[in-house]
């Protein structure tokens, strides 16, 4: 039985080593751009523009962060993003549970038509303009309700939670029902505690979605007090220095545009991704679990 393990040919050893090197290289390439931004944020704008920054900060300083703090706009936008994310995720979870629990009960009368009603909205996706007109007609422009309400439920996430609930043993619920517990009590006291892993995973997916979105903010939020972090960043990068795109710097067109210095841009990027990078190591296993639970249903 054991003789397969004894000899390892030099070829397969070399392959193994090559594999490790290639994977490390992939991880390096995937993460280097973030590292570059961190280094750049602590470098002088001169060094960045001269292309001197590659791995470590050049002419180390924290001016960019001080400027961001003094200006305060970016941090205000971050506070707005935090509010949008927190409230949005709470609404999402409440609504997702309210949809998933009844629909996961096979005895529910009219379950088939209801599922069809919901599934159809997932496969026929209405366009941008009708949605915009709806939000405008409802008078929701320039308020966070324009973001929260249309995004209350992600149908896909709801189906993931539904299939998780369907997978829980029915006996627990039945015995509770015999003891006279109503559906609300069964949901709150029995189902939700059993659903903890999927609740964690889905709230993380929702929260990341809220944190990262910028297009809906661009559509519906007009006052600058309500701007969110990612929209600020988007505006920063699209007002990009033409010389960055086209090479040959110092053209007349470039000098008329008020540009965000490169170091400030880099520092803003770092501020925007820092919260995600900080919580990621602690939460990553929930993300993976969420994907795997979702794939069971396909």
Interface with another protein, residue 112, by CB under 8 A: no
Q: Closest separation between CB of residue 76 and another protein, Å?
A: 17
**Cβ proximity of 276 and 210 under 8 Å:** no
Selected binder of another protein within 17, 26, 172, 188 (CB under 8 A): 26
Q: Which residue has the tokens 């220095």?
A: 241
Beta carbons within 10 angstroms of residue 249's beta carbon: 12
**Cβ proximity of 84 and 214 under 8 Å:** no
Selected binder of another protein within 124, 179, 223, 256 (CB under 8 A): 124
Looking at residue 158, the DSSP 8-state letter turns out to be H
Spell out the residues 6+ positions from residue 86 whose beta carbon is closer than 8 angstroms to its own: none
Distance CA 222, CA 172 (A): 50
The helix (H) or strand (E) run that includes residue 222 is none
Residue with Cβ nearer another protein (31 or 172): 31
Q: Closest separation between CB of residue 237 and another protein, Å?
A: 4
Interface with another protein, residue 56, by CB under 8 A: no
Site residues for another protein, 72-111, by CB under 8 A, read 95, 98-99, 101-103, 105, 107-109
Distance CA 34, CA 40 (A): 10
Selected binder of another protein within 17, 69, 133, 257 (CB under 8 A): 133
Q: Closest separation between CB of residue 60 and another protein, Å?
A: 18
Q: Which residue has the tokens 């509770």?
A: 176
Selected binder of another protein within 243, 254, 259, 261 (CB under 8 A): 243
Lookup: tokens for 194: 């059993």
Q: Closest separation between CB of residue 295 and another protein, Å?
A: 5
Distance CA 290, CA 199 (A): 9
Interface with another protein, residue 246, by CB under 8 A: yes
Site residues for another protein, 182-241, by CB under 8 A, read 182-184, 187, 208, 211-215, 219, 230-231, 233-234, 236-238, 240
Beta carbons within 10 angstroms of residue 214's beta carbon: 17
Site residues for another protein, 142-161, by CB under 8 A, read 149-150, 152-153
Residue with Cβ nearer another protein (79 or 249): 249
């Amino acid at each position: 039985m054991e003789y397969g393990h004894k000899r390892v040919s030099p070829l397969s050893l070399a392959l193994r080593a090559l594999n490790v090197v290639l994977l490390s290289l992939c991880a390096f390439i995937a993460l280097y751009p973030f590292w570059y931004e961190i280094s750049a944020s602590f470098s002088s704008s001169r060094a960045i523009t001269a292309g001197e920054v590659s791995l470590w900060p050049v002419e180390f300083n924290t001016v960019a962060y001080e400027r961001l703090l003094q200006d305060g706009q970016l941090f205000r936008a971050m506070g707005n993003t935090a509010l949008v994310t927190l409230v949005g995720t709470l609404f999402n979870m409440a609504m997702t549970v309210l949809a998933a629990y009844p629909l996961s009960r096979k005895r529910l009368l009219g379950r088939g038509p209801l599922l069809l009603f919901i599934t159809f909205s997932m496969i026929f996706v209405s366009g941008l303009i009708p949605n915009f007109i709806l939000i405008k007609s409802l008078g929701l422009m320039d308020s966070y309700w324009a973001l929260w309400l249309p995004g209350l439920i992600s149908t896909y996430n709801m189906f993931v939670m539904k299939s998780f609930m369907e997978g829980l043993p029915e006996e627990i619920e039945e015995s509770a029902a015999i003891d006279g517990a109503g559906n609300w009590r069964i949901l709150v006291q029995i189902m939700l505690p059993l659903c903890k892993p999927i609740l964690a995973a889905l709230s993380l997916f929702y929260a990341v979605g809220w944190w990262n979105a910028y297009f809906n903010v661009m559509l519906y939020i007009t006052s600058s007090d309500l701007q969110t972090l990612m929209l600020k960043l988007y505006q920063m990068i699209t007002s990009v220095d033409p010389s960055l795109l086209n090479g040959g710097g110092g053209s007349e067109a470039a000098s008329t545009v008020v540009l965000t210095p490169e170091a400030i841009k880099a520092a803003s990027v770092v501020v925007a991704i820092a919260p995600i990078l900080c919580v990621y190591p602690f939460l990553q296993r929930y993300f993976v679990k969420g994907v795997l639970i979702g794939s069971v249903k396909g």
